[in-house]
Amino acid sequence: MQIGIQTRPWGPEANRKRLPAVLADVKAAGYDGIEIGAQHLDISQPAAFRRLVADHGLALAGIHVGGEIWNPQAVRDALARLEQTMAFASAAGAPHLCFSGAMKQGKTDEELAQTAANLNRIGELAAGHGLRLAYHNHYWEIEGDCRELRYLRDHTDPAHVAFLLDVAWVYRGGGDPVAVAREFLPRIVYFHLKDTRGTEWLELGEGDVDLRGVLDVMRGCDLPWAVVEQDETKRLPVESAVMSRAFLRKWLAA
Instruction: Give the confidence band of 74 by pLDDT, cuts at 50, 70, 90.
Output: confident
Helix extents (H) in the chain: 11-17, 19-28, 46-55, 72-92, 109-128, 143-155, 167-172, 177-184, 211-218, 237-251
pLDDT in tens, 182-209: 999 999 999 999 999 999 999 999 999 9
Angle at 243 between CA 20 and CA 12, to 5 degrees: 35
Class of 2-251 in CATH: alpha beta
Amino acid at position 22, single letter: V
Domain ranges of the chain: 2-251
Cα(15)–Cα(145) distance, integer angstroms: 36
Cα(61)–Cα(230) distance, integer angstroms: 16
For residues 64-73, average pLDDT? 90
On the question of pLDDT at 254 being above 80, the answer is no
Cα(9)–Cα(233) distance, integer angstroms: 6
pLDDT in tens, 120-146: 999 999 999 999 999 999 999 999 999
